A and B are shown apart, each in its own frame.
Chain A
Amino acid sequence: MSKDPRRWLTVKPQGLYCAAGDFYVDPTRPVARAVITHGHADHARAGHGKVLATAETLAIMQSRFGEDCWGSAQAVGFGERIEIGGASVSLAPAGHVLGSAQAVLDHDGGRVVVSGDYKRRRDPTCAGFEPVPCDVFVTEATFALPVFRHPDDAGEIAKLLDSLRLFPNRTHLVGAYALGKAQRVIRLLREAGYDRTIFLHGALEALCTLYEGLGVALGPLEPVAGSKKDKAGEIVMCPPGALNDRWAAGFPDPVTAMASGWMRVRQRARQRGVELPLILSDHADWDELTRTLHDVGAPQVWITHGREEALAHYAQQAGFQAEALSLVGFEEGEDG
C-alpha cells in the first residue's frame, strides 16, 4: 500500500508524530511543535515551542498553565486549513468539551483523523462531533465495553433534582471534573429549570468564568467561600477528589453525587462512597464508539487509551483493520 499513512505518522515516546510536518498531536512531553485537540491535562501540557489549537483550547491552556505556557500559539477555526511542512492540518469539532477538536491530517493523498476524546450526544457547552471520512481513524476507547451505555442526560439531571426535593435540608455535593463536566452539569441543570445559585469549589471558579467569557452562560454562580453550614438544600459543585476530602466535612448532612461515566458500574460508585451516581460522561459510550467507526468509514482504525482490546475485537468483526496504538501518558482520568 503506497499511501499507507504509517510512513508519515508514527508513535514516538513523546506521542503521535507526524513526520511529514514535523509536529506531534497531543504530545505528553514538551516538543518544538504541537497540535492540541483539547484542554484536558493528559492532552494539553505546558512548555511546547509552537502550539496549534482552537482559540477556546488556547484560552483554557492559558487559564490552567499561565499566559506564557508556550513559545507561540496559533488559533485555528473549524474547517480552516493550515499547511505545516508537507502536511495539511485542519480541525473538526469533537463534542468532548469546549474547544475540543479532531485533528484532520492530510498528506500524500491519505487522510488520518486523530479524534482525541469525543462523544456523539448533544452537549450544550460545545460544538457537536462531526464525522470526517478518512483512511485512518484514531479513536479513544475509554468506555469501550458493551456494559457502558450512558443513559439520557436529562434523566440523570432529574435524579439530582429529585434528590433535592426528597432531601431539602441536605447539601448536594456534586463531584465533576473541573474542565467540561462541571460546566455541562450546570448548563443541563439550567435547561431543566433550576435557576438557584449554584455554589463552586475554588478549583472550578476560573474555568467557569472562562466558559462564561467564551459565551457559555451558566447562570448565577458563587464561590463556597467561608460558610458551609448555610448550604443546606443547595447544589455545590466540586472536583471529584474533594468529595472524600476534609473539605466536604463541614456541609450539613451532604448527599455525595458524582457525575461520571464510571458511575454506570455500581461497584465502582460504591468504592468511591457515592450515594447519588449520575451517569454523565464526556466520552463516547460503546454504542457511540461503534457507530462512529461506521459513520467515519475508515478502513483502518487505530485505538488509543482505554479498553483497546474490546474495541479492536469489535472493529475486526465488523470488517475494519484495527489495532491498538500504545501511547504512553494517557490515563484513565477522572474526566470520565
Chain B
Amino acid sequence: MKRFADLMERLVYTGGRNAKLAILAEYFRTTPDPDRGWALAALTDGYETRLLTPAAVRKLAEARTDPVLFRLSYDYVGDLAETTALIWPEAEALPGEAPRLGEIVDTLARTSRARAPQHVEGWLDRLDGSGRYALLKLLMGGLRVGVSARLAKTALAQYGGKPIEEIEELWFGLTPPYGDLFAWLDGRTSAPQVDTSTLFRPVMLANPLEDGELDRLAPTDFRAEWKWDGIRVQLAARDGEARLFTRTGDEIGPAFPDIAGRADFDAVLDGELLVRREGEIRPFNDLQQRLGRKSVTAAMLRDYPAHLRVYDILFRGDRDLRPDPFETRRAELEAFVTGLNRDWLDLSPLVPFDDWDALRAIWDGTREAGIEGLMLKRVDASYTAGRPKGPWFKWKRAPLTADCVLMYAQRGHGKRSSLYSDFTFGCWRDGPDGAPELVPVGKAYSGYTDAELKEIDRWIRRNTVEKFGPVRSVIPEIVLEVAFDSVHPSKRHKSGIAMRFPRIHRLRTDKPAEEADRVETLAAMIEG
C-alpha cells in the first residue's frame, strides 16, 4: 500500500505525460504481483468495489474525532477522503505493518458490505497520511490522478518493450490482477492466450492531409470516402453476442442496444456511429445526447435512434481480413452488407473521382453538403493498427472563422503555468438596454505561435480589469480571428451557441474591437 500511496501522490502532482509514463513504468518495475496488478486495475477502472460509501466514511471519521471539528475541517478541505485521511488520529508509532494492496483487495472480496468499514478502520490505523488517502480514494472510487486507461497501457507497453497494439488486442480478455500479462511483459512467458472473438481490435487511424501532399500522391492509388461527423466505433459480433467499442476500446454496447442488441452475425466491423431519424443523418449534437451514458431510456431510443455506417471489415466469421489489401476488404464488406439488409446499418459509399482536381471540387462542396470532409485510403494497404504514415488520410473541410474579442484569460498548465494561454472570447449582441454587449462564445488554448503567446500574455497583464484566482478579465480590445469547425446551439452558454474545435487563427491587430462579429452571425452558421 505504501508504494501505491506514493504512486498516487506523485501522479496527483505531476502534469506532464512523459513524466507520468516514467512514474508508472518505475512503479511496475519495483512493485511485486499482485499489488501492481491491482493498482493497474484501479487506474483502468477494472477495480470497482464501491464497498465504501461516503456515509460510511463519515461515520468512521466522526467516531474517531470530534464531530464539530470534523465538520469544520470538511468544510475547509472540501473532499471527504482527504479530510478523513488528514484528520485521522495518528499513534506515535503505527501499530503493525502497513497492509499490502493485495491483502486489502483479498479481504474485501471475502467481506460483506456491512463489515467492510470495520476492516477499513483497522487499515487506516496502520497507514500514514498518504496511505490513508490512497486507500479511501481506491475504495470510494474516483482516483482522479490524471491517468487514462490508454496512458496506463502505454506505460505497460514501454515497461515491457511491447507494441501498445499487442497489449490492446489482449486487454479485454485479461482480468485483474493481470499476473499473466506481467509475466509476459517481464519476459518470463509468452503472451497470454485469450479468446479474442468478441474482443476489441486496435483500430487503424488516418493522418491529416497536409498542404501540397496530394501532388505527391497518385490518384489511382487511392479511393475516397466521406468523412462522417459521428464517432468511430468497432462492432464485434459472434455467436449472438455483440460488443460495441469506441476507437480507444471502451465498451459502449449497453448504451446502444439499438446497435449491439441487433447484431446477430459473425463479423467485426469498423464504422461511424451516427443518429439517423426518418432516413436523415442528424448533426453530431443529436448523437451527443446519447454519449457518456451507461444506459439508455426508451425516449432516447425513439428520439435519437442510433445508426452504424460501416467502412471496413476486420473479420468475417473466423477469417482475419486485416492483412488483406483495402480493395479485397472493401469487396468483402460490400458483399456482407448487401446480404444483411438491415435498416440500422448501411455502407459508407465510395466517392468516385478521376483526378485530384475533381476530388478538390467535391471537397469544396462538403461544407455546403453538411459533411465533415473526405477520407483517402490506399487501395493496396492492409489494416494496420495505430496511425501508420501513408495509407490513410483525413481531409477535413475548411474551417469557419469569426472575429471575436478577448474577454478572459486563464493561466495554462505545465510548461504554460506562468503564461496566460487559455482564452475566452466573445461576440457582440444588443444588451437589455439596447447598448451592444459582449457575450462569451468560446474558449481556445491553441493556434498561436510562442512569440504571439508571449505578446498576448504581456498585454493581458497590463490590461487586466479584475482577477478571479487564475482567471483575469481584460479590457475588450484585442480581436482574435478564431477558426472552428462548426457552431451548435447550446443551452449551457449565455450566448446560446457553442463552437466545435475552436482555435486561434491569427491576431487581428488591424481591427478595432467594435468591428468584431455579432452573435447573430455565428448563430446563422448553425447547421441542420
Q: Which residues of A contact B (CB under 8 A)?
A: 145-149, 151, 243-249, 256, 264-267, 269-271, 273-277, 307, 309-310, 313-314, 317
Which residues of B lie under 8 Å from residue A275 when comparing CB positions? 13-15
- Per-residue CB contact flags for chain B residues 72-87 toward chain A (1 = under 8 Å, else 0) read 1100111100110011
Residue B68 CB within 8 A of the other chain: yes
Which residues of B lie under 8 Å from residue A248 when comparing CB positions? 417-418
Is A309 in contact with B13, judged by CB distance below 8 angstroms? no
Is B411 in contact with A244, judged by CB distance below 8 angstroms? yes
Residue B413 CB within 8 A of the other chain: yes
Q: Which of B12, B13, B69, B469 contacts A310 (CB 8 A)?
A: B69
User: In whole angstroms, how far apart are the Cα atoms of A313 and B67 in the complex?
Assistant: 11
Which residues of B lie under 8 Å from residue A271 when comparing CB positions? 469-470
Is B13 in contact with A313, judged by CB distance below 8 angstroms? no
Q: Which of B86, B129, B419, B470 has the most CB of A within 10 A?
A: B86
Which residues of A lie under 8 Å from residue B70 when comparing CB positions? 146
Main secondary structure of the interface of B (DSSP, over half): helix
Q: Which of B66, B72, B82, B87 contacts A317 (CB 8 A)?
A: B66
Residue B65 CB within 8 A of the other chain: yes
Known: A266-B79, A277-B13; 16 extra A-B contacts, CB below 8 A, are: A145-B69, A146-B73, A147-B77, A244-B417, A244-B418, A244-B470, A246-B419, A246-B461, A247-B418, A264-B86, A265-B77, A269-B13, A271-B469, A271-B470, A273-B417, A276-B13
Is A267 in contact with B82, judged by CB distance below 8 angstroms? yes
Closest residue of chain B to A287 (Cβ to Cβ) is B90
User: In whole angstroms, how far apart are the Cα atoms of A149 and B88 in the complex?
Assistant: 11
Chain B contributes a number of interface residues (CB within 8 A of A) equal to 32
Sorted nearest first, the 4 A-B pairs with minimum C-beta distance are A147-B86, A273-B417, A248-B418, A147-B73
Is B76 in contact with A274, judged by CB distance below 8 angstroms? no
Per the 8 Å Cβ criterion, residues 346-374 of B in contact with A are: none
Which residues of B lie under 8 Å from residue A266 when comparing CB positions? 12, 79, 82, 133
Closest residue of chain B to A253 (Cβ to Cβ) is B415
Is A245 in contact with B418, judged by CB distance below 8 angstroms? yes
Q: Which of A249, A269, A274 contacts B419 (CB 8 A)?
A: A249
Which residues of A lie under 8 Å from residue B87 when comparing CB positions? 146-147
Residue B165 CB within 8 A of the other chain: no
Is B69 in contact with A146, judged by CB distance below 8 angstroms? yes
Is A270 in contact with B76, judged by CB distance below 8 angstroms? no
Closest residue of chain A to B26 (Cβ to Cβ) is A166
Q: What are 25 inter-chain pairs, A to B, with CB distance below 8 A?
A: A145-B73, A146-B66, A146-B86, A147-B73, A147-B77, A149-B90, A149-B129, A151-B129, A244-B411, A244-B418, A246-B418, A247-B418, A248-B418, A249-B419, A265-B76, A265-B77, A266-B79, A267-B77, A267-B82, A273-B417, A275-B14, A307-B72, A307-B76, A309-B72, A313-B66
User: In whole angstroms, how far apart are the Cα atoms of A179 and B51 in the complex?
Assistant: 48
- Per-residue CB contact flags for chain B residues 1-42 toward chain A (1 = under 8 Å, else 0) read 000000000001111000000000000000000000000000
Closest residue of chain A to B78 (Cβ to Cβ) is A267
Residue B457 CB within 8 A of the other chain: yes
User: In whole angstroms, how far apart are the Cα atoms of A257 and B66 in the complex?
Assistant: 33
User: In whole angstroms, how far apart are the Cα atoms of A321 and B86 in the complex?
Assistant: 28
Is A149 in contact with B86, judged by CB distance below 8 angstroms? yes
User: In whole angstroms, how far apart are the Cα atoms of A317 and B133 in the complex?
Assistant: 29
Is B79 in contact with A145, judged by CB distance below 8 angstroms? no
Is B418 in contact with A249, judged by CB distance below 8 angstroms? yes
Q: Which of B15, B72, B78, B133 contacts A145 (CB 8 A)?
A: B72
User: In whole angstroms, how far apart are the Cα atoms of A305 and B425 in the complex?
Assistant: 40
Q: Report the minimum CB–CB distance from A256 to chain B (whole Å).
A: 7
Per the 8 Å Cβ criterion, residues 252-307 of B in contact with A are: none
User: In whole angstroms, how far apart are the Cα atoms of A149 and B76 in the complex?
Assistant: 15
Q: Report the minimum CB–CB distance from B238 to chain A (whole Å).
A: 45
User: In whole angstroms, how far apart are the Cα atoms of A149 and B65 in the complex?
Assistant: 14
